[in-house]
C-alpha cells in the first residue's frame, strides 16, 4: 500500500509518520511507500517521499496524482484559533483545499476507492451540550474551524457514497502534549498545563479547576488514525466517529501530574477562567463512544497512561 | 428595505417576486427596491432591478455590492438530479457560489447583519429515516445536492454566529406544481402527477401508490420564505428549520385530484416504482414541525388547498 500524509510536518503528522515507519498499517497491510506533504518538512525523513509545498499548489497536486496513494491521512489544517482569526484562510485551507484533495484522489483511477482518513474534531459538537453526547446529539460548531470540519465530514460521506473515496473521519479531542510553541490552537493550554506542571513551573490556567475536557495523547491518536485506515466501518452511511476519550477535569490532571512528577500542582497552578475558552473547551460532558469502541478505536486507558504517553517522546 | 432574490428566474423565484410586488415583506416592513439575479430573467419585470448573468460573475458581484440589500433570498441552485449528474457543477453553484455570496454580503458594511433567507431542502435528511423526524434526527444526505445544501446550512449558521449575516435556512419539501419541463429535479414527478391527472391524462408514476412524500404549494412556499425574513428566530444557535409539510401518499393525492377534477385517477395512473426514487422520495415519515410552527411557518392546510394553490396561477 502507498500511503500519503498531509500536514506531515505537524505535531500529529510527525507521530503518525514515526508509527508508520515502525509498524506500517498493521493488520497484515504492508506499506510499500510513504509520501509526506507539508509547507515545511524535517530535513531528514529517511524512507519518506517528501513533497514540500502548499497542498493547494498545482505541482503538489501533480505529484500526489503521480504517487497515487491507496491510503491518505489528511491532517493539514488551519487550526481553531488561527482559523477564527482568519476566516478566509480557513475557507481556503480547511474547506477548499480539502475538497480539492478529495476531488484529486477521487479522480485517480483505482480498483477500490482510495481510503481517506480525515482528522476531524470534537469542535463539530458545540458549546451547549447535553449531559451525554451521543450519535444523535445535534451538531452546532461554535467556531469556524468546527463548521468547516463538519462540512468536510458531510462532503466526505458523499464522496464515499458515490464510490470515489472510502472515507473515515475521526473527531479528534484535545491532543497532548503539543510542543510549547504558538500552534494556533485555542486548546493549546491543555498541553501547556502538562509541560509546566511536569517541569515544576507555575502555570496560569485559562479555565477553572472543575472544567472538563476530552483528552488523548498524540501517540494514541496516531494509533487510532492508523487503525481507522484498516478497520471495517461496515455499510452504515455514517462516516465520522468521535474518538473514545478520557474526560478529565483540570484538577484531576493537575493531581495526577503532581503524583507522577512529585510536584505541588495545587501551588503551581493558578486558575483565571476566561468565559469564552471555558464555554468552548471546559464543559465537555460524558461521551457515548460505544460505536467507536466497537470499531476498535481506543482512549489512553487512564490519566497516568495519558500523561506518560503525552510527555514521553 | 432593499431585497435581493437569487434564482429569481426559477419557479419559486418567480412566485416570490410576485408576492413581494403584491405585499412586500409584510409585518410593517416596506420594500424600497427589489433586485433579481439569474442567468435568464423574464423580459418584463416592472419595478425590479434586473441583474442578468451568472451569480459567480464579478460584474454581478459588483452590482450586488452596489445594491447592498438588507434582505437576500438565496434560491439559485443546481437542482438534485442535475447536481447528481454533474458533481463539479454542484460544487461550483451549490457550494462555492453560495459561499461567495455569503462572503460578499457579509463584507458590505451595515448597521445590522443582513438577513439571508436560504432555500435549503429536506434532502439533507437522508433515506433511512425513523418513524418520526425530529430536531435531533441525524442528517445523512443521500444525494450530493443535499450534502452541499447541508454544508451551506452549517456555514450560514457560522456566518450568523460571527455577526456577518442573519441567516435563516428553510428546508423546502417537494414544491408543486412546477411547469412540465425538464427542471433537473429528481422529484419533478410530484408536479407532473398533478398536471397529468388534473388534465385527465394518463401518467406513469415512478413510485408506488403508498409512497409518502412531503408536499407544499409554490405559493405557500414563497409565503414562508417571506415570513422567514421577518420572523424572530430567537437566540438559538440553530439557523435551519424544516417547513411544516403535508405528508401525503401518491394514492391520497390522486384520490383528491379525482374528486376535484372529476376524473378517474385510479384508471389514469399506472405505478412503476423505481427503487432509487422510491427510497429517496417515497418514504418520508412523520415530521415533528413544532419548532417551525411556533416560528409562524405553515403548511397548505389540506390536500385540497395544496392542489388548489398548486394548480392555480
Identify the CATH number of the domain defined by range A176-214+246-285+301-311.
Answer: 3.90.25.10
CA proximity to A222, closest of A75, A32, A50: A75
Q: Which whole number is the average pLDDT over B232-253?
A: 94
pLDDT for B128: 84
| CA–CA distances in Å: residue B170 to residues B74, B186, B241, B264, B277 | 11, 19, 5, 36, 23
Whether residue A116 is preceded by a cis peptide bond, meaning omega within 30 degrees of 0, is no
pLDDT at A258 over 90: yes
Determine which of A193-202, B130-139, B185-194 has the lowest per-residue pLDDT on average. B185-194
Check residue A82 and give left, alpha or beta (phi > 0: left; psi -120 to 50: alpha): alpha
pLDDT at A41: 96
Closest-CA distance, A224 to chain B, in angstroms, reads: 24
Q: Span A123-147, mean pLDDT?
A: 93
pLDDT at residue A74 is higher than 90: yes
Domain B176-214+246-286+301-311 CATH (choose: 2.60.200.20, 3.90.1150.10, 3.90.25.10, 3.40.50.450) = 3.90.25.10
* pLDDT band, very low/low/confident/very high, at B255 (cuts 50, 70, 90): very high
Which residue of B141, B237, B238 is in closest CB contact with A154? B141
Interacting residues of B9 by C-beta distance below 8 A, sequence separation 6+: B36, B38, B39, B40, B41, B42
Interface of B with A (CB under 8 A): 87-88, 91, 95, 99, 103, 126, 128, 135-142, 144, 147-148, 150-151, 154-155, 157-158, 161-162, 237-238
Residue B27 has pLDDT above 80, yes or no: no
Q: A137 CA to chain B: closest CA distance, Å?
A: 6
pLDDT score, position A76:
98
Distance CA B54, CA B58 (A): 9
A154·B162 Cβ contact <8 A: no
**Measured between beta carbons, which residues in chain B are less than 8 angstroms from residue A99?**
91, 95
What's the mean pLDDT in A120-145? 93
Can you tell me the mean pLDDT for B122-135? Answer: 92
Are the beta carbons of B138 and A135 separated by less than 8 Å?
Answer: yes
Whether B125 is a known active-site residue: answer no
pLDDT at B313: 65
> What is the average per-residue pLDDT within B207-231?
97
In the predicted model, what is the mean pLDDT of chain B? 95
Residues of chain B with CATH 3.90.25.10: 176-214+246-286+301-311
Integer Cα distance of A66 and A62 in angstroms: 6
| Mean predicted confidence (pLDDT) in A234-250 | 94
Q: How far is B103 from chain A (nearest CA, A)?
A: 9
pLDDT on residue A313: 65
SS3 B13: helix
Q: How confident is the model at residue A280 (pLDDT cuts 50, 70, 90)?
A: confident
> What CATH superfamily is the domain A2-173+216-242?
NAD(P)-binding Rossmann-like Domain (3.40.50.720)
**Domain limits, CATH 3.40.50.720, in chain B:** 2-173+216-242
**Which of A87, A155, A237 shows the shortest C-beta gap to B151?**
A155
Q: Where are the beta strands (DSSP E) in A33-113?
A: 33-38, 48-52, 71-74
> Catalytic site residues of A?
145
Q: Where in chain A is the domain with CATH 3.90.25.10?
A: 176-214+246-285+301-311
* Dist. CA B96–CA B167, nearest whole Å: 17
Q: Which residues in chain A have their CB less than 8 angstroms from residue B276's CB?
A: none
A contact set with B (CB within 8 A):
87-88, 91, 95, 99, 103, 126, 128, 135-142, 144, 147-148, 150-151, 154-155, 157-158, 161-162, 237-238
A82 CA to chain B: closest CA distance, Å? Answer: 15
Cβ contact, residue pair A147, B126, below 8 Å: no
In this prediction, residues B219-243 reach a mean pLDDT of: 95
> Which is more confidently placed, A16 or B313?
A16
Give B-chain residues touching A237 at CB under 8 angstroms.
126, 128, 140, 142
d(CA B257, CA A287): 51
Contact (CB<8Å) B154/A144? no
Mean pLDDT value of segment B28-41: 92
Catalytic residue among B118, B125, B145, B284: B145
Complex prediction ipTM: 0.93
Please tell me the distance from the alpha carbon of residue A23 to that of residue A229, in angstroms, as a whole number: 14
pLDDT, one tens digit per residue, over A16-67 is 999 999 989 987 778 999 999 999 999 989 999 999 999 999 999 999 999 9
Per residue in B63-81, pLDDT (tens digit) is 999 999 999 999 999 999 8
The model carries a pTM of 0.95
Give the residue-averaged pLDDT of A155-183: 93
The mean pLDDT of A79-95, rounded to a whole number, is 95
Cβ burial of A209 (10 Å; 0-12, 13-18, 19+) is: middle
Asked whether the beta carbons of residue B158 and residue A144 sit closer than 8 angstroms, the reply is yes
**Residues B186-217: tens digit of each pLDDT:** 788 999 999 999 999 999 999 999 999 999 99
**R_g of chain A computed on alpha carbons:** 19
CB-CB contact of A185 with A178 (8 Å): yes
A123 and A141 Cβ atoms separated by less than 8 Å? yes
Amino acid at each position: 500500500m502507498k500511503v500519503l500524509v498531509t500536514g506531515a510536518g505537524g505535531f500529529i503528522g510527525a507521530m503518525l509518520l514515526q508509527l508508520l515507519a515502525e509498524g506500517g498499517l498493521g493488520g497484515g497491510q504492508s506499506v510499500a511507500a510513504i509520501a509526506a506533504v507539508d509547507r515545511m518538512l524535517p530535513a531528514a525523513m529517511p524512507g519518506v517521499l517528501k513533497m514540500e509545498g502548499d497542498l493547494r499548489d498545482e505541482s503538489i497536486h501533480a505529484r500526489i496524482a503521480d504517487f497515487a496513494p491507496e491510503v491518505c491521512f489528511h491532517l493539514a489544517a488551519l487550526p481553531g484559533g488561527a482559523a477564527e482569526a482568519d476566516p478566509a484562510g480557513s475557507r481556503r485551507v480547511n474547506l477548499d483545499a480539502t475538497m480539492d484533495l478529495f476531488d484529486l484522489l477521487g479522480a485517480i483511477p483505482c480498483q477500490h476507492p482510495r481510503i481517506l482518513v480525515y482528522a476531524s474534531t470534537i469542535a463539530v459538537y458545540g458549546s451547549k451540550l447535553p449531559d451525554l453526547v451521543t450519535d444523535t446529539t445535534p451538531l452546532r460548531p461554535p467556531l469556524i474551524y468546527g463548521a468547516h470540519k463538519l462540512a468536510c465530514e458531510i462532503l466526505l460521506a458523499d464522496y464515499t457514497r458515490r464510490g470515489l473515496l472510502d472515507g473515515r473521519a475521526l473527531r479528534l479531542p484535545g491532543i497532548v502534549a503539543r510542543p510549547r510553541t504558538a500552534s494556533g490552537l485555542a486548546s493549546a493550554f491543555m498541553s501547556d498545563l502538562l509541560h509546566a506542571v511536569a517541569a515544576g513551573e507555575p502555570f496560569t490556567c485559562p479555565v477553572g479547576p472543575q472544567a472538563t475536557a476530552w483528552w488523548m495523547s498524540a501517540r494514541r491518536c496516531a494509533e487510532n488514525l492508523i487503525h481507522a485506515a484498516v478497520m471495517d466501518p461496515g455499510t452504515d452511511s455514517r462516516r465520522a466517529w468521535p474518538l473514545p476519550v478520557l474526560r478529565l477535569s483540570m484538577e484531576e490532571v493537575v493531581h495526577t501530574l503532581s503524583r507522577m512528577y512529585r510536584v505541588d500542582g495545587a501551588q503551581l497552578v493558578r486558575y483565571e477562567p476566561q468565559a469564552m475558552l471555558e464555554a468552548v473547551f471546559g464543559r465537555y460532558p460524558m461521551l457515548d463512544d460505544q460505536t467507536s469502541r466497537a470499531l476498535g478505536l481506543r482512549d489512553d486507558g487512564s490519566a497516568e497512561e495519558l500523561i506518560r504517553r503525552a510527555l514521553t517522546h
